[in-house]
Amino acid sequence: MILNNKKIVVGITGGIAAYKALELVRLFIKNGALVWPVMTRSAVNFITPLSLQTVARNPVFQDMFDLTLESKMSHIDLAEKADMVVVAPATANIIGKVASGIADDLLTTIIMATKAPVLFAPAMNSNMYENKIVQHNIEKLKKIGYHFIGPDEGELACGYEGKGRLAPVEDILDAAEECLAPKNLKGEKILVTAGPTREAIDPVRFISNPSSGKMGYAIARAAKRRGAEVVLVSGPSHLAPPRGITFIKTTTAEDMAEAAMRHYPQSTVVIMAAAVSDYRPKISHGKKVKKEEARFNIELERTQDILKEMGNRKRGQFLVGFALETEDILANAKKKLKEKKLDLIIANDPTSFDGEVTQVTVLGKDDKIEALPALAKNEVAEHILDRVINKLRS
């Protein structure tokens, strides 16, 4: 995982969203990072150093001239040893100070002294955010190479509605990972499909499956982080679309086929993680079917096999499929690899359909078989992309 053993200075400044920094720190720790929390003087009005220290599992740095902490880890050590600095929430004040080259407290000094990437997650009143000085400062910092995530639109603590909400912590985590990820998919156009499809029986009933979309969304997010241009074609899913990608929402296998085939010619890599329905009702009733005493038969007809069609129309694209199997996993996956003219196939069983963790086996055209241990889908996504890169570059 990208954040594993990475040292992250998390700077917390004085805004109401400071309480969300606790959750962000918890997420960083969960993802294997080592957090050095730094609070500004006004941040302690919003959350206590004790709560932060407890979730960060590290002492909180507050004062530049704290003799005990300085002797253990000086502000220059923090700046030099950090792999990245994340300021969340970032007030207009800290953005202004950094943009003006002011280093008058511990956090601004670290930002000034570090060579690591710095990510700001602004949060403030919307009028403040729209202020031309703030906008100018953000533009200036972006131009120099500082990173920004958010803010989002929505209800603000001050009662206003508008742009100024701290980006969701999951998005801040994702942006931090993006800053540190190798950009080894730059130049690639990756088409990913995800989730189930729904085939209507009538306006209130459909045929579908329990796929959550998690695997495909994780792949899309990871590919974007690595610098690829990503198109995600998704069936119905409750997941939030990753930022910075082209997102196409579909319902039926036919919709999905249309969207995927439209983007296929210009793609360099396709990863079909969607659980596409193989059949649909031959007749989709326009009105709700009323129950009767006798049995009700649904005649099914085949949908298009999108991946097979892609295999037949291959013009240099690298094709990755999934094989969902309950028996003879490897033999069936190999058959699909060949029949659909794939470059790689990921075999899995349905136990992980809507779960967080999955155990997959990766099979290549070269008959190489690699069984991965049970891993979080985010990690599996990274492994799959590593395999794609290996094959693309070999």
* Nearer residue to ligand CTP within complex by CB, 172 or 274: 274
Is 179 annotated as catalytic? no
**Would you call 147 helix, strand, or coil by DSSP?**
strand
Exactly one of 163, 226, 263, 336 binds ligand CTP (CB under 6 A); that residue is 336
**Which of 324, 329, 384, 388 contacts ligand CTP by CB under 6 A?**
324
Q: Does 220 bind ligand CTP (CB under 6 A)?
A: no
- Is 258 near ligand CTP (CB under 6 A)? no
Residues 278/302, Cβ–Cβ less than 8 Å: yes
CB of 394 to ligand CTP, least distance (A): 22
**Pick 228 or 306: Cβ nearer ligand CTP:** 306
Whole-number CA gyration radius for the chain = 25
Element (H, E) at 361: strand 361-364
Length of the chain: 394
Q: Are strands 161-165 and 246-249 parallel, antiparallel or unpaired?
A: unpaired
Spatial separation of the C-alpha atoms in residues 51 and 43, rounded to whole Å: 12
Q: How far is the CB of 389 from ligand CTP (least distance, A)?
A: 19
Beta bridge partners of 210: none
Instruction: Quote the least distance from Cβ 218 to ligand CTP, whole Å.
Output: 15
Catalytic one of 133, 144, 158, 357:
158
Residues 273-302 interacting with ligand CTP (rule: CB under 6 A): 274, 276, 278
What's the rounded Cα separation, in Å, for the pair 24 and 83? Answer: 17
- The one among 55, 60, 307, 360 contacting ligand CTP by CB under 6 A: 307
Q: Which is nearer to ligand CTP, 82 or 276 (CB)?
A: 276
Q: Closest approach of Cβ 298 to ligand CTP, in Å?
A: 18
The two structure tokens encoding residue 15: 């805004």
Phi and psi at 361, nearest 5°, equal: -120, 130
Minimum distance, C-beta of residue 187 to ligand CTP, in the bound complex (Å): 24
Q: b/e string for 255-269 if b means 16 or more Cβ within 10 A?
A: bbbebbbebbeebbb
For residue 188, the minimal CB distance to ligand CTP (Å) is 19
What span, in angstroms and rounded, lies between the C-alpha atoms of 373 and 208?
29
- The reply to whether 311 sits near ligand CTP by the rule CB under 6 A is no
First-to-final CA distance of the chain: 24
255 binds ligand CTP (CB under 6 A): no
Considering only residues 60, 82, 323, 363, which one is a binding residue for ligand CTP as defined by CB under 6 A? 323
Q: Which residues are marked as active site? A: 158
Contact residues toward ligand CTP (CB under 6 A) are 253, 272, 274, 276, 278, 303, 305-307, 321-324, 336
